[in-house]
Amino acid sequence: MSKQEISIVKLMDGSTLVGKISYGDDTVEIEHPIELVPQIMPTPHGIGESINLRPWIAVSESQTFTIERRNVITVANLQENFKAGYHRMVKSIYLDGPEWRGDFIEDEGPEVEMDLELLEELANAVLEKKIH
């Protein structure tokens, strides 16, 4: 498989992932995928959009996932000014690992540390129409 830069991957199901991409014959592998989840919200100037970040397939022990190419709509390189934030999120989510507390039977939910600086950068980029 050939390695590429940190990329944004748009999937057929509407998901948008950011991660390190490798290409196979009929597959795409994504290492350390982080999902970008848009949220529509009212602003003083009308409707706005913010982006929430979360690990993709959060409870998996895997850090690399294989996706069939037919499920990929498009791939684009991540803008340089977002790469440092991506690396901070990978460190927080995959390398330092979130500390999961409780279990799936009790009401306690997982706690994941989010990088607020990156969230703000992405939200501003969306509002400035740099990300669609």
Residue 104 has pLDDT above 90, yes or no: no
* C-alpha distances out from residue 13 to 9, 10, 73, Å: 11, 8, 9
pLDDT for position 113: 55
% of the chain beyond a pLDDT of 70: 77
In sequence order, what are the residues at sequence separation of 6 or more whose Cβ sits closer than 8 angstroms to the Cβ of residue 61? none
pLDDT for position 131: 53
User: Has this prediction a pTM greater than 0.75?
Assistant: no
Q: Which of 40-44, 70-74, 98-102, 118-122 has the lowest mean pLDDT?
A: 98-102
% of the chain beyond a pLDDT of 90: 44
Residue 16 has pLDDT above 70, yes or no: yes
pLDDT for position 50: 84
Domains and CATH numbers, the chain: 2-127 (2.30.30.100)
Which of the four pLDDT bands, split at 50, 70 and 90, describes residue 92? confident
Local structure of 132: helix, strand or coil: coil
How much is the mean pLDDT over the chain?
82
| Phi, psi angles (nearest 5°) of residue 81 | -70, -10
18 and 88 Cβ atoms separated by less than 8 Å: no
In sequence order, what are the residues at sequence separation of 6 or more whose Cβ sits closer than 8 angstroms to the Cβ of residue 58? 98, 110, 112
What is the Cα–Cα distance from 18 to 20, expressed in whole angstroms? 7
Top-confidence range, 2-6, 8-12, 45-49, 116-120: 8-12
